[in-house]
Amino acid sequence: MSKIGFLGAGQMAQALASGFVRADLVHPADIVAVDPFPAALASFGKLVPGAAVSDKAAGLAKEVDVIFLAVKPQMMQAAIAGLGKIGDNILLVSIAAGTSLAKLADWTGSTRIIRVMPNTPCLIGESASAFCTGSGATAEDAALIEQLMGAVGVVRKVDEKLMDAVTGLSGSGPAYVYVLIEALADAGVRVGLPRDAALQLAAQTVRGAAGMVLETGDHPGVLKDRVASPGGTTIAGLQALEAGGFRSAAYDAVVAATARSKELGAE
């Protein structure tokens, strides 16, 4: 397996690196993380013991075969400049929202680039990711990314024009689900459940419902109708969700996040 570098050692880099190690695809000794912030390096080293960490980006391209560009979009150009010359022997993998392949090629002087939009559940092997490839990326490069990201969840190849939509849906999506779980748990406490029981039941309910969609292949509407018996408790709850604009709010969240991803790409 390739030696992997991370330019940026934040939460997503930590989640990906630890996920790759957990899946036995990469040995910790074959991982290098670079970040100017000591706290980020300390967290990375704690989560991925045995990985090398450094506050200096220069020379990283000489140590690894793949570099994950894991910095914020606004910091990407400056961070890339710190790498120095990048040869075609290096596969660059950007996980930054909104930053196009064309911009990355301009900043790096390379077209051997792949854009990936993962999400944080890769830490537990449950990520939902999508990727698109630059003109210089080979079929072997794409296969490597499918192997790496597939080991930490589900991965799909898409056209670059869809990457902002992926960001708005699955990239930002875990936060929407956390809000849902928190709200369900709070409501459980409101109607008398102990806090720990309410949170466990809420989280497992979301997990189980998602599993039903993925494993049965049935449309969510069909599964919903199977739960909602005439005049029962579930249909009463669904009516409250509709009255509160739940469906519309979820729709708007994805659209707003997609729009923000496009804005980041234009900055």
Q: Which amino acid is at 105?
A: A
Output the six-digit token pair for 19: 């996920």
Distances (CA, A) of 11 to 19, 61, 114, 208, 234: 12, 22, 20, 26, 37
Q: Is the dihedral of CA 38, 44, 46, 50 positive or negative?
A: negative
List residues forming the annotated binding site for NADP(+). 7-12, 70-73
Question: Nearest 5 degrees, angle CA 47-CA 37-CA 82?
Answer: 110
List residues forming the annotated binding site. 7-12, 70-73
Distances (CA, A) of 153 to 15, 30, 150, 170, 194: 12, 21, 5, 12, 32
Helix or strand holding residue 41 (H, E): helix 38-47
| Per-position b or e across 188-212, b if 16+ CB within 10 A of its CB | beeeebeeeebbeebbeeeeeeeee
Output the six-digit token pair for 88: 């075609």
- Alpha helix (H) residue ranges in 49-116: 60-63, 76-81, 101-108
Measured CA to CA, the distance from residue 230 to residue 237 in angstroms comes to 12
